[in-house]
Amino acid sequence: MKRVITGGDVFVDGRRRRLDIVVNGESIEALVTPGSGPTDADVIDATGLVAIPGGVDVHVHTREPGYTHKEDLITVSRAAAAGGYTTIFGMPNLDPPTMTAEDLDSVLEMYNEKCIVDYNHNPAAKLVDQIPAMAERGIAAYKIYMVVDTGRTYPHPAAIGVHDHGELLRAMEAVARTGLRLMVHPHDQAIMDVVEQAFWAKGDRSPAAYGKTLATGDGIIWDTATATLLRLAEATGCKLHIVHAQTIRQIEMFKQARARGVDVTAETNHWALFLGRMSDIEEQGSYVLSYMVPDHHREAVWEAMADGTINMLSSDHAPHTREEKEVGWTDAWAAHTGTPGIQEQLPLMINAMHEGHITLDRLVDLVSTAPAQVFGLLKKGSLAPGSDADIALLDLDKVWTITNEGVQSKIGWTPYDGREVKGAVAHTMVRGTDVWANGAVVGEPGHGRFVRSEGHL
């Protein structure tokens, strides 16, 4: 069946244009002058809205299998649809963790049965002998965590942590041979251990203390790890993707490494931009930890997003129950770290656009075009004819308040509860099928399809 999206603007070729979108089945057939599309098509009235390519979120913690009391593939994809995201990449910190080709096959079967939006999945690059077989499945990237939790066993289980530089070298050599990209959470665990123990010795296990350990030495745990990773990538030829970019020195290192020919991309996350101030931590405690990001680093991150040094924005959607967060008021090291946000990230970014932090052009590139291109999703991240009809219709001028009651994630809460924003996702379409419309999820579990990586930039 053909559909025509009419009456609104379309963001294409780096600018807004008044065009109609003709959708034929799962694909975009054409962009045409208003009113010139087929007359027998189903019509979607987009008056007052702007169409952008559906978001591609390459960093999502789905929690299934193993932690479905927090989230599952149905609820996480409901949140994605409500947030304008049409493709998600799941992470391997599951139970069992995704470490083998057999683990990967099992997880992908679950996605196929339950996911509303399209998907890929990043297995852990921990077992080097498994890396080639997992590449054959069509994955877009691998994941390594240079962090292990202290005081708890999740969300960074020891089974998939990699700290030894020799082990990192072997993994990067193996990944380089596949031609795929290695996604790494940089972290200097040895330095973190020393800093943590100093706070513990004083009996301070508060959320503020936890935040300070993560920002200690003006970001030293991030900077030393990033420097090591960049040097290893240069030595091995491994394509590298750094998650959680959040310091000035990281940004400087990305520029310098690229000048030397290192293939490195980077992402930042909503919590680095909109949460993580000490005032946020004092008010909401572990509910906003993820990480503390001092103001001077946050300003640098915005600048790096604007100039392209940071390539993309991912949600790092990390849902935990209230009980798993509430314990942090007395012992932040016992609380599970991570912040949900795939549903709220795009509206928050539109609001930031109105405040002058980012242009619409850069916003679309950060959330849609760049992640699709970097990870080889050739039919995603674009509204050009022939692309998948993955479309988010945005109401750039709607003023509304984020509330816990509107949360689609299973946990039922958001750290942005009560925050007023200007900008909303009005309609989301995945391969021509509506998944979010009129303020409700209308997509069905199992609609989502595995998106095979077809060649990295």
234 residue type, one letter: E
Provide the CATH number for the domain around residue 368. 3.20.20.140
> Would you state the pLDDT for residue 153?
84
Burial zone of 261 (CB within 10 Å; 0-12 exposed, 13-18 middle, 19+ buried): exposed
What is the span of the domain harbouring residue 45? Answer: 2-50+386-441
> Would you state the pLDDT for residue 204?
96
Q: Which residues pair with 23 in a beta bridge?
A: 3, 28
- Residue pair 54/392 in contact by the 8 Å Cβ criterion: yes
Task: List pLDDT tens digits, range 126-161.
Answer: 999 999 999 999 999 999 999 988 888 899 988 899
Domain boundary among 319, 353, 374: 374
Task: List pLDDT tens digits, range 335-369.
Answer: 999 999 999 999 999 999 999 999 999 999 999 99
> Would you state the pLDDT for residue 456?
53
162: pLDDT strictly greater than 90: yes
Whether residue 422 is contained in a domain is answered as yes
370 and 402 in one domain? no
Whether residue 452 is contained in a domain is answered as no
Q: Which of 415, 381, 416 lies closest to 84, judged by CA?
A: 381
123 and 27 in one domain? no
> Would you state the pLDDT for residue 90?
98
Task: List pLDDT tens digits, range 297-333.
Answer: 999 999 999 999 999 999 999 999 999 999 999 999 9
Whether residue 456 is contained in a domain is answered as no
% of the chain at pLDDT higher than 70: 99
5: pLDDT strictly greater than 70: yes
> Would you state the pLDDT for residue 251?
98
Identify the three-state secondary structure at position 56: strand
Counted domains in the chain: 2
Q: In three state form, how does the secondary structure of 362-404 look? A: HHHHHHHHHHHHHCCCCCCCCCCCCCECCEEEEEEEEEEECCH
Task: List pLDDT tens digits, range 234-293.
Answer: 999 999 999 999 999 999 999 999 999 999 999 999 999 999 999 999 999 999 999 999
457: pLDDT strictly greater than 50: no
How high does pLDDT run on average in the chain? 97
Provide the CATH number for the domain around residue 7. 2.30.40.10
Other Cβ atoms less than 10 A from the Cβ of 216: the count is: 18
357 and 298 in one domain? yes
pTM of the model: 0.97
Task: List pLDDT tens digits, range 362-396.
Answer: 999 999 999 999 999 999 999 999 999 999 999 99
Task: List pLDDT tens digits, range 177-188.
Answer: 999 999 999 999
> Would you state the pLDDT for residue 284?
98
